[in-house]
Chain A
């Protein structure tokens, strides 16, 4: 991809691992709710789903340091000043385009990752007081289990709220003529939707992502299994 491409040419902005991660996360969140609401009473699927989500999140953290430019925390996290300036601009009706995340979107990624990580970790220590018990609940006192379980249930509501903000923002951009959904599927944005003078995004290989995903799997497995050794 060169900068001399035609003005309507598509530019690759999201790498495959980031896109796969995103849609896996969507499926994982839905499946967590469905499994809790309608799944078996042992919560087997809900818990398996949770381990998978933890692996996804650890992978995303790693990808935030070693991934393509648009996936890096260092590249898309800005100071509070930039976020406020961006939001003020939105309220004034200004329309600015970004290669990857806008300043507010970047922090909403962090918020979503944080709450999902919290859901995953609290789930490890939680109990439904019937049949399901997180694999690490045996490490802490009964009171802690009760407290953490309450947190786990409450932060599900926080998660729903954040998802609604996220979807709401995407719809808002869609209404402004900025389709963010298609690029998250195809990875490409039309050049006309990018700030002028945008240079090609530096992409990192899928193989590196696969290796980091495997590493994330090992990290999560060790973090859970090693307590029983």
Chain B
């Protein structure tokens, strides 16, 4: 009986801990930030379907490339003070190492501009290369500033 009670207690502690990790976020700054990132991820995914998975819509590529570039314009106000409080994968270093964050952001914007440029052309190979570089720049920042 004692064992059973202990097991139930342990299970509920685990469950509550796990559930709190999935709680909906209500901090408006975090809601906004995640919305912006999801928008950009959506453009990346849609572009992947056209460039790699065989979805036939080459004319849509410039739209998605521009969407990614535009998304970066909405990142500047995505990390206001206090937006580290809540369910977020943003590491505290974002607010303590602004210069490094800025460098990563500038790299990514440069890659997005290259992607827009390549997407306006007809060379699919160049678009794919620019797209992969874009992915690398996303990853570089995630590796530094996104929690595991």
Contact = CB atoms under 8 A, between A and B. Distances in A.
B139 interface: yes
A144 to B, nearest CB: 10
Q: How large is the interface on B (under 10, 10 to 19, 20 to 34, 35 or more residues)?
A: 10 to 19
Interface stretch (B6-14, B54-62, B130-138): B130-138
Contacts of B142: 128-130
Given A40-B132, A41-B132, A42-B132, A130 B138 contact: yes
Interface string B13-50: 00000000110000000000000010001001000100
A147 B44 CA distance: 21
Nearest to A129: B41
A229 B78 CA distance: 42
B148 interface: yes
Interface string B47-76: 010001000000000000000000000000
B139 A130 contact: yes
For the complex, would chain A's binding face be called helix, strand, loop or mixed by DSSP majority?
Answer: loop
A130 B148 contact: no
A42 B48 CA distance: 10
A131 B148 contact: no
B86 to A, nearest CB: 15
Given A40-B132, A128-B139, A129-B41, A153 B148 contact: yes
Contacts of A128: 139, 142
Interface in A178-198: none
Interface of B: 21-22, 37, 41, 44, 48, 52, 132-136, 138-139, 142, 148
